[in-house]
Structure 1
Amino acid sequence: MKILSFCHSSRASSPLPGFVVFFLICSVLKMESAKFTVIGPRDPVIAILSQEAVLPCHLSPRMSAANMELRWYRSQFASFVHLYRDGKDQYDGQMPEYWRRTELLKAGFTDGNVALKILNIRHSDEGQYHCFVQDDTFYEETILELRVAGLGSAPLISVEGHQDGGIRVVCRSAGWYPEPEVLWKNLNGRHLPSLCETKSQGDNNMFETETVIILTEHSNQNLSCCIRNIFLNQEKESAVYIADPFFPRVNSWMVALSVILVVLFGFIGHTVYLFKMKDQVTMKMKILSFCHSSRASSPLPGFIVFFFNCYVHRIESGRNPPCGCCFLEDFFRPLKCLNNMLDIKSVERLPVCKLNHARSSAPSLFNFCPDCIAAAGLFYLLLG
């Protein structure tokens, strides 16, 4: 009041310049009208989907806000969430997504509370809100944040067969927002590692989760699946117990049968191999006997004995002829081999038998089959 009296008297008699008096008057008027500040919560307001939320806001010092303008808006001042002016709610210009979903708690007006209630919370409601209060020409505002969260369904635990020597257990849940935290816990509350975990967000922005764990016998037969919302600090949990008969076991009679089958097949294979070796040794002994007697007493020409010797050397060194044909089965086959032998131009470049040695590797002196040798003897007998 002293300042006001001084200002009024200054306008009449003070030699101060006019602009100084003007600023003093403006400062006094501002001090008279600066009656309150608008205060909101520092921490975000957490709201649950499909439920209602209250955005707190009040004046300090406490005073009645019944005759003030109260405006709640998001980013644009003109497009408001809720407006109270001239003692009543104003809906002309309200954001369409908040139509009939907002309410000012007028019961707290006398104490300076201008909180806003939002019904049927949606994902789109998440974000910042401005609480604006104006009294005549003076106004103040504060900004607060709303976070939306959703509690999903209780975890569904299912046993889906055997895997890696244990039992595959799957935990599923849906309807969470934001992305939840999923944990497996044993009977003592200790966290268990999961085999894999997948999370997906549907068209409604809600999260679905699926996590898998492999249980082994006598390890963690009692376990629970816990899904937690980090915003709400709330969780939902389901437990399961798997009895011993469900775990895979190795039957003793299956092990014994497997061992017997392995031994039996091994014995059969070895027996067949021995019989084949016996037949081959018998055939070699007969051929060697014939060849040795031919070298000692037969009047065959020298080149025929040469081929017999080559064949004998091949057998003695363990190299079987590639073909097992016999000249008694086909009389003309030795004759064709004989025709091939008669085409030899040089001993150093002996060709491979064209009829019976197509699969042989590089040409060699010992690459002639029994048909070649039989053809030489046959030729000698026919001409002798």
Structure 2
Amino acid sequence: MAGVRRRHFLSLSCLFAFPLLFCHSLTIASLAPSTMVALIGRDVILPCSFTPHPSMNLLRMVVTWQLLDTDAVVHSYYYQRDQLDLQDPAYLHRTKFFPDELLEGNASLQLNIVRLEDEAQYMCTVSNEFGSSSGTVKLLVAAPYSEPLLTFDLQACLSSGLVRVLVTGGYPKAEVEWISARGDNVSEEANTEFQTGPGGLYSITSRLHDPQGNGTNYTFILRNQRLKQEMIRSLAIEGSCPVEVRAQLLRWHVCFGITVVLLILTVASLAFLLHRKSRLAGQVL
């Protein structure tokens, strides 16, 4: 089968429970890639397939899923039922085995509601009266980023304009780029912040000051390589916001200044008139 990887693992030893039986090697062939990506919050099937023997006895079948690095038990099955007394608490009520498919050579395990902490390398071990064999699968987790939210801060016009892009809920940390209309990478001129929230997911805020100040085009690019997610959004800054705002502020300041001066002069004139009237009244008396 084109594009399919197969890993063959020879039997390491025969089951001690069946010392009088002739031992054969089991073969575990994972038809899925050795490394797979699961979406956080969704379910995933960890693949494990083996070559079944026509006369194998299910009563003597033992299947164990565990973490390769720590040997923590993810799920175990023997005596034709799930044996979860030694299951790691992190996987409690989150695994599902398919015993009806053992005769077909399927020992895969379903892991429900994938978490960030589930990223690990898992080992599947299948044993019966004909031998024992193991295979591994590396699980990576990921989450897609939200649609970019674009805002333009008009209050920042006096500092050459501020464009802000916000994306949330993604994993792992994404790559962010800003490209100018001339095709130059201006990412170093942007202020990009990464924050982690509930569940370890990233929120990204990227702020870019318009260096020209009189309108131009930019392209915002976000890449989540693990999911092959790429978002490219173009935006245009039109007009000469800083100049117009400065002119408006200048006119407002001039008008305000003139109003204040006129008010002061009016108050001073009234005070002078009242004072003069008071003096004249005193002279008449």
Quickly name the TM-score band, shorter chain normalised: 0.5 to 0.7
CA–CA distance in structure 2, aligned partners of residues 99 and 236 of structure 1: 37
CA–CA distance in structure 1, aligned partners of residues 64 and 138 of structure 2: 16
Deviation of 1:54 (Å): 1.3
Deviation of 1:187 (Å): 7.3
5 Å-filtered alignment, 1:101-140, equals 101-106=94-99, 108-136=101-129, 138-140=131-133
5 Å-filtered alignment, 1:1-384, equals 32-40=22-30, 43-60=34-51, 67=58, 68-74=61-67, 75=69, 77=71, 79-106=72-99, 108-136=101-129, 138-161=131-154, 162=156, 166-185=160-179, 191-193=185-187, 194-202=189-197, 204-215=199-210, 216=212, 220-221=216-217, 223-244=218-239, 246=241, 248-249=243-244
The 1:65/1:199 distance shift into structure 2, 3 A limit, reads: farther
Gaps of 5+ in 2: 1-18, 251-285
CA–CA distance in structure 1, aligned partners of residues 27 and 20 of structure 2: 14
Q: For residue 339 of structure 1, what is the aligned residue in structure 2?
A: none
The 1:189/1:109 distance shift into structure 2, 3 A limit, reads: farther
Letter matched to residue 237 of structure 2: I
Give the RMSD, CA atoms, in angstroms: 3.6
Contact 2:179 2:219 in 1 (8 A): yes
Of Structure 1 and Structure 2, the greater strand share is in: 2
Which structure has the greater CA radius of gyration? 1
Contact 2:43 2:114 in 1 (8 A): yes
Deviation of 1:143 (Å): 2.1
TM-score by length of 2: 0.65
TM-score by length of 1: 0.50
Moved more, 32-41 or 146-155: 32-41
What SS does the aligned partner of 2:216 have? coil
What SS does the aligned partner of 1:33 have? coil
Deviation of 1:130 (Å): 1.0
Aligned residues: 225
Higher relative contact order (CA 8 A, sep 6+): 2
Contact 2:64 2:124 in 1 (8 A): yes
Letter matched to residue 34 of structure 1: H
What SS does the aligned partner of 1:248 have? helix
Identity of aligned residues (%): 23
Deviation of 1:119 (Å): 0.6
Gaps of 5+ in 1: 1-28, 255-384
